[in-house]
């Protein structure tokens, strides 16, 4: 019966185990493994994410105290700090990256019909990167500065639901703009980027692929104005121009026309200049699209605050990437559960409830329904739309 199963077991019912086994088989994850399988490893690491564990010893202590319940939670192998550390070190991180991508596709399908901040029928993405600092002495492979280590999390966020659709983990030295070479551009989609991604040759490839982009312009941009459109200056707009680039290399890289929009942000007293290849949307909509890019900044801030992606349980590159990908899959899993069970709580609140109730034996929806209050607004700051 449902009330004789732990909440953790009910939560893992939402994981597609058949697809997980396919990922394991693809990279021979269970080759010569006798007792502690990749599934056991995944469940232990997911447990660590959901309950905010600080170390491998912490994970071992918490799971061993409930050893009689582990079998029914899906963990068949004996949990040991050394065994888990070795699994994180040697089992291919791509197993968990591929599995996270499967969950991401499920989540994107669930949130595809959600309302967006703007009334657009297009898929809108925000692209950015965030640095995760590492100790150079413990992570010598992650060179960033002379005395500092770091890795960089490059993310393409689908703003319909704030689900990451593309993620690449690199060393901190990799420049943001090079990730554009790895993107499979979706025709008809809109890509919002900061000026760190301003490379006209790469932007022209996106343009020829029938996608739109909105990007901040740099101050030293050389251009010629062809004509101007009228704007309503009460909205903050200052100009809406059609331009061509006049710099030798920039014109060679991007020979077509561009749209240049200047907007005054009265709240922050800043002048913002945007470039776009979209000539159909109103100028104010373009400025509002760029404002929505802030969602990816909140996404990075949120996962760093509420998931274990800053303190790592291993020092090898494989262990770090394994932990990050499992953290991302847990984030997406909880988003899937929120949608499928129609839970009217923020993702933060759901995680807090799960962190103290994973061993409880009750219907999972009951744990959440007792906390729902439709008349009370969540006062947590900086929540994403997914968490409202």
- Is residue 143 classed as helix, strand or coil in its secondary structure? strand
What's the confidence (pLDDT) of residue 1? 43
| Its pTM surpasses 0.75 | yes
What's the confidence (pLDDT) of residue 267? 87
Burial class (CB in 10 A: 0-12, 13-18, 19+), 114: middle
DSSP 215-257: EEPPTT--EEEEEEE---GGGTEEEEEEEEE-SHHHHHH--S-
Are residues 303 and 284 in contact, defined by beta-carbon separation less than 8 angstroms? Answer: no
Cα angle vertex 320, ends 157, 382, to 5°?
A: 40
Are residues 300 and 155 in contact, defined by beta-carbon separation less than 8 angstroms? Answer: yes
Tell me how far apart the alpha carbons of residues 341 and 387 are, in angstroms, rounded to a whole number: 14
- Contacting residues for 175 by C-beta, under 8 A, at least 6 apart: none
What's the confidence (pLDDT) of residue 143? 87
β-pairing, 237-245 with 258-265?
antiparallel
What's the confidence (pLDDT) of residue 376? 46
φ/ψ of residue 354, rounded to 5: -65, -35
In whole angstroms, how far apart are CA 199 and each of 218, 243, 332? Answer: 11, 17, 31
What's the confidence (pLDDT) of residue 378? 44
What's the confidence (pLDDT) of residue 371? 65
What tens-digit pLDDT sequence spans the chain (388 residues)? 445 689 999 999 999 999 999 999 999 999 988 889 999 999 999 999 999 998 999 999 988 888 878 877 888 878 899 999 999 999 999 999 999 999 999 999 999 887 777 778 889 999 999 999 999 889 999 988 888 899 999 999 999 888 999 999 999 999 999 999 999 999 999 999 999 999 999 999 999 999 999 999 999 999 999 999 999 999 999 999 999 999 999 999 999 999 999 999 888 899 999 999 999 999 999 999 999 999 999 999 999 998 888 889 999 999 999 999 999 999 999 999 999 999 999 889 999 999 999 988 889 999 898 666 555 444 434 445 454 4
Are residues 127 and 147 in contact, defined by beta-carbon separation less than 8 angstroms? Answer: no
What's the confidence (pLDDT) of residue 386? 54
What's the confidence (pLDDT) of residue 387? 44
What's the confidence (pLDDT) of residue 229? 93
What's the confidence (pLDDT) of residue 193? 96
| H runs (alpha helix) in the chain | 7-12, 17-26, 38-51, 56-64, 67-73, 81-90, 94-111, 200-208, 248-253, 283-291, 294-306, 317-340, 347-357, 364-369
Q: Tell which residue, 306, 301, 315, 329, has the closest CA to residue 45.
A: 329
What's the confidence (pLDDT) of residue 77? 78
Are residues 289 and 274 in contact, defined by beta-carbon separation less than 8 angstroms? Answer: no
Tell me how far apart the alpha carbons of residues 243 and 335 are, in angstroms, rounded to a whole number: 42
Q: Tell which residue, 106, 133, 112, has the closest CA to residue 16.
A: 106
DSSP strand E in the chain: where?
124-134, 143-145, 148-158, 163-171, 190-193, 212-216, 223-229, 237-245, 258-265, 270-276
What's the confidence (pLDDT) of residue 71? 79
Tell me how far apart the alpha carbons of residues 312 and 308 are, in angstroms, rounded to a whole number: 7
What's the confidence (pLDDT) of residue 3? 53
- In the chain, what are the domain boundaries? 2-96+314-387, 195-282
- Taken in order 254, 255, 259, 265, the sign of the CA dihedral is positive
C-alpha of 357 from chain center: 26
Tell me how far apart the alpha carbons of residues 174 and 338 are, in angstroms, rounded to a whole number: 35
């Amino acid at each position: 019966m449902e009330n004789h199963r732990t909440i953790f077991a009910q939560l893992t019912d939402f994981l597609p185990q058949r697809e997980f086994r396919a990922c394991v088989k693809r990279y021979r994850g269970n080759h010569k493994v006798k007792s502690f399988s990749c599934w056991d490893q995944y469940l232990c690491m997911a447990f660590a994410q959901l309950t905010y564990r600080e170390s491998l010893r912490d994970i071992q202590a918490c799971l061993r105290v409930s050893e009689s319940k582990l079998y029914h939670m899906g963990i068949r192998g004996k949990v040991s700090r050394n065994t888990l550390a070795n699994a994180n070190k040697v089992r291919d991180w791509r197993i968990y990256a591929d599995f996270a991508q499967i969950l991401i596709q499920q989540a994107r399908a669930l949130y595809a019909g959600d309302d967006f901040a703007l009334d657009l029928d297009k898929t809108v993405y925000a692209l950015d990167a965030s640095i995760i600092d590492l100790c150079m002495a413990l992570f010598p492979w992650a060179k960033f500065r002379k005395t500092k280590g770091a890795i960089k999390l490059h993310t393409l966020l689908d703003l319909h639901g704030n689900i990451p659709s593309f993620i690449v983990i690199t060393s901190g030295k990799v420049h943001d703009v090079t990730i554009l070479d790895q993107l499979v551009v979706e025709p008809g989609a809109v890509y919002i980027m900061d000026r760190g991604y301003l490379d006209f040759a790469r932007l022209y490839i996106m343009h020829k692929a029938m996608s739109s982009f909105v990007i901040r312009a740099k101050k030293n941009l050389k251009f010629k104005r062809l004509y101007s459109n009228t704007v309503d200056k009460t909205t903050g707009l200052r100009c809406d121009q059609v331009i061509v680039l006049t710099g030798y290399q920039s014109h060679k890289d991007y020979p077509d026309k561009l749209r240049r929009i200047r907007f005054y942000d009265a709240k922050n007293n800043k002048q913002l200049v945007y470039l776009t290849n979209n000539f159909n949307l109103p100028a104010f909509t373009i400025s509002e699209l760029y404002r929505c890019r802030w969602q990816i900044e909140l996404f990075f801030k949120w996962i760093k605050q509420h998931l274990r992606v800053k303190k790592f349980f291993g020092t090898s590159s494989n262990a770090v990437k394994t932990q990050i990908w499992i953290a991302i899959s847990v984030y997406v899993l909880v988003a899937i559960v929120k949608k499928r069970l129609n839970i009217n709580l923020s993702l933060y609140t759901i995680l807090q409830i799960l962190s103290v109730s994973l061993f409880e034996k009750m219907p999972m929806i009951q744990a959440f329904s007792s906390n729902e209050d439709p008349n009370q607004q969540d006062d947590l700051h900086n929540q994403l739309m997914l968490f409202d």
